[in-house]
Amino acid sequence: MRRVRLQDIAERSGVSIKTVSNVVNGKASVTDSTRTRVQAVIDDLGYRPNVAAQHLRRGRSGMIALAFPELTEPYFAELASHLVRAAKKRGLSAIVSQTDGLAETERAVADGTDMPLVDGLILSPLALGAADLAERTDKGPLVLLGETVRDESPYPRVAIDNHQAAVEATLHLAGLGRRRIAAIGARATAPRATAVLRLEGYRAGLAAAGLSYDSDLVGYVPGFHRCDGEQAMFDLLQRDPRPDAVFCFNDSLALGALRALRESGLSVPDDVAIIGIDDIEEGRFSAPALSTIAPDKSAIADAAISLLLDRADDPNSAPREVTVGFELVARGSTSCPSPAPTPLPVTTRPSNREFDDDSPDTAGLGLPKSPEA
């Protein structure tokens, strides 16, 4: 079938090609009656703009890059999916790269080495700090995800409040009457910012519940994977008395801990209640279903894409930090029914101006604007 052209719409509508172009591109220089007539023809003929040609005319690739430590980790895979969809809503395509949390790979991605031409990068760094990123040779738009690079960074950043998330997870367990609440996810070597904040939040949650911190109830891990959670749980079960609840610093650790408890003949949540962070899909199908702190992944994605477009519009603007909401989802692993999810609002600090994800943006990229976990 032949592609519908602007000329076809113009002939059917009885207007010029320029007028049709103005309607397609949302220009104001068209009367309401003409716009309505032309739009009706556009809809009837099923016209779709040639996005690639639009990008070419504007000197842009229409493509952005997403870089995560590991795509086999469910949280990053799910977040990447949200980002791809958020980019598509704004007429962007996305390529996804895996850095393995290695400094040289993160640096290569940040510098654009061996990468196709892209209009911006969204990066979840583990190894690089603010000083490293300040030296990047590619000065294109960059948005950071997570806690690794924080206050001193010259780049916009999106994260959840990891400290408060850990507080609420710990208080949830304490509210069940549990008194020996353990934590799995601390890092003895190469501590990550996310792990540090969640450990601090765990301690603050214990204090708020009137419970004492016991270092013997902290499980240290080399990584945030299922096998790490399983081994840490086995180690904690050697304590006397053993813990009666566990807060895991992500859902993968919690799933590993669930396996260890099952293999040890213990019942969840009767003997040990457990909660994680991330709300990965796998946790909804574990036995029992995993209670979790659920970040609003869709809001993270929308905020990151919006910040990237804003940065392209004004490369010298002050970096903004966006803190995205989360909710506690109680499931079978803490003996509570799961409430219907309620999206939480996005807040920003500091902010030069609020952004509206659905508002058009014809500047910057010239496109519509609609960690360690």
- Which tens digit of pLDDT belongs to each residue from 179-230? 999 999 999 877 788 999 999 999 999 999 999 999 999 999 999 999 999 9
Among candidate residues 199, 325, 205, 323, the one with its CA nearest the CA of residue 253: 199
Among candidate residues 261, 205, 269, the one with its CA nearest the CA of residue 229: 261
- Do 148 and 371 touch, CB atoms closer than 8 A? yes
Q: What is the fold of 6-49?
A: 434 Repressor (Amino-terminal Domain) (1.10.260)
113 three-class SS: coil
Sorted by where each begins, the domain ranges of the chain are 6-49, 57-160+300-324+344-349, 162-295
The number of angstroms, rounded, from the C-alpha of 69 to the middle of its chain's C-alpha atoms is 13
Which amino acid appears at position 44 of this protein?
D
pLDDT of residue 25: 65
pLDDT of residue 27: 64
- Do 120 and 308 touch, CB atoms closer than 8 A? yes
CATH 3.40.50.2300 for domain 57-160+300-324+344-349, yes or no, is yes
Domain covering 162-295 in this structure, CATH number: 3.40.50.2300
pLDDT < 50 positions in the chain: 52-57, 59, 337-341, 348-373
pLDDT of residue 360: 37
Domains 57-160+300-324+344-349 and 162-295 share a fold: yes
- Do 151 and 259 touch, CB atoms closer than 8 A? no
Which amino acid appears at position 28 of this protein?
A
Structure tokens at 247: 């807060």
- Do 110 and 138 touch, CB atoms closer than 8 A? yes
Tell me the C-alpha distance between 157 and 149, whole Å.
8
Burial class (CB in 10 A: 0-12, 13-18, 19+), 42: buried
Pairing of strands 291-295, 326-329: antiparallel
pTM for the complete prediction? 0.75
